Amino acid sequence: MILLYLFLGGLAVLLILLVVSLFLKQNPKALQAAMMLAGVISVTGIIGYWFLRLSAGRVEFLHPLAFLFLILPLAVFWGQTLWRGAFTRQIAYPFSHLSLSLFSLRAWLTRWMALLFYTAAFLFMIAALARPVRVDRTVLPPTEGIDIILLMDVSASMQKQDFYPNRFIASQQTASRFIEKRLSDRIGLVVFAKSAMLQAPLTLDHEALQEYISSMYIGMVDPNYTAIGDALGVAANHLKQSKAKSKIIILLTDGDSNAGTIEPSLAAKAAATYGIRVYAIGTASPPDQSVYASAKDEINEGLMMEIAETTGGKYYRATNESELRHIYDTINSLEKTTFSPSTIVSRKDVYQPLLFLALACVLLGLLTEKVILIKVP
């Protein structure tokens, strides 16, 4: 922005001087020097401005006020132009206009080459002093997400084959498919039977979570009982620290709570206190529906409904793998929490090459002035 102001300021001074030149012609040398100064400032500003524009924000100057040091050599040049003959004697030769002016490339290089190198070195040092940095911006897109704990039953009854190929494998496959659709959600995993165990904390590393899902097996905890209350307690205890506005537990079981130290109804009330909704899924076919079904209903639907209603969730009954997939798809359409987009900005200093170039120009200037193109008085 300072470069744009520099350009606009120089342009304004230049326009003012053009207007003044229409009325004041008494000191053309001063006017010429002032116009040259304003022109150089404008050109410097516009070059810097378009450099930043063309770099598309990938280069910034942390100390752009350092470019104001460019005024120093311009001021010296201006003063030399105004008072060039004030402190030196001039001898007028009456027939100097008749002398032949012959151009000599060596004389021209001797006069200007070293000065050009020194000027370039000065400009490189000023640019390095402004501290240019390369900017890399990573814009994280707006995402929507909720924190989800998958609460999965690994008791022995999950081996029954009223689901294809059995309840346990069908629940694994359906959970894996559900995770693939929730790219912006943090998801965790709790397994339970006689006891409950946090298998995976809330994470966005869904690849690792899929490995945890595939590594589950019947018997990883004592498979002879079902502790629904303890499982809800473990999941709620992990979710209560979440900052998400929406937190849910997806409880999947094929039985009734018959073990554990926490009553499921009390665990549901505790979850509701932390703003956690529980979506309960019963995975067992009704009695006598198939050769694999039990003689009596294995699922305590009254308890499942109570848990869901207490927490503001819903209860679903799946009688086969197709219905289980549909239930997960229904839960997948839940309202999501919107997170604001953010940008990660990293800056890397790039002034070192400018300092090396400045040093090289100084050395070339000294080499040109003292060795190659020596001035003879």
Domain ranges of the chain: 2-83+106-138+351-372, 145-335
Q: Where are the beta strands (DSSP E) in the chain?
A: 59-61, 132-140, 143-145, 147-153, 186-192, 196-203, 247-253, 276-283, 315-318, 337-339, 342-349
pLDDT at 354: 86
Per-residue pLDDT of 168-180, as tens digits, reads 999 999 999 999 9
Q: Which amino acid is at 222?
A: D
Side-chain half-sphere exposure of 317, counting CA atoms within 13 A: 14
Mean pLDDT of 253-266: 92
Q: Is the pLDDT of residue 271 over 90?
A: yes
CA distances from 220 to 39, 196, 303 (A): 81, 10, 25
Question: According to CATH, what is the number of the domain 145-335?
Answer: 3.40.50.410
Confidence (pLDDT) at 336:
67
Residue range 195-206: mean pLDDT, rounded: 93
How far apart (Å, rounded) are the C-alpha atoms in residues 205 and 188?
10
Q: In the block, which residue shows the tokens 């999501």?
A: 336
Residue 292 banded pLDDT, cuts 50, 70, 90: low
Residue 326 has pLDDT above 80, yes or no: yes
pLDDT at 276 over 70: yes
27-47 b/e (C-beta count within 10 Å ≥ 16 → b)? eeeebebbbbbbebbbebbbe
What's the pLDDT score for residue 30? 57
Report which DSSP code applies to 243. Answer: -
What pLDDT sits at residue 87?
A: 47
Q: 10 Å Cβ neighbour count for 260?
A: 21
Model confidence pTM above 0.75: no
Which of 7, 18, 102 lies closest to 53 in space, CA to CA? 7
Tokens of 307: 């848990």
Task: Give the model confidence (pLDDT) of 82-115 as tens digits.
Answer: 555 554 555 555 555 555 455 567 676 777 788 7
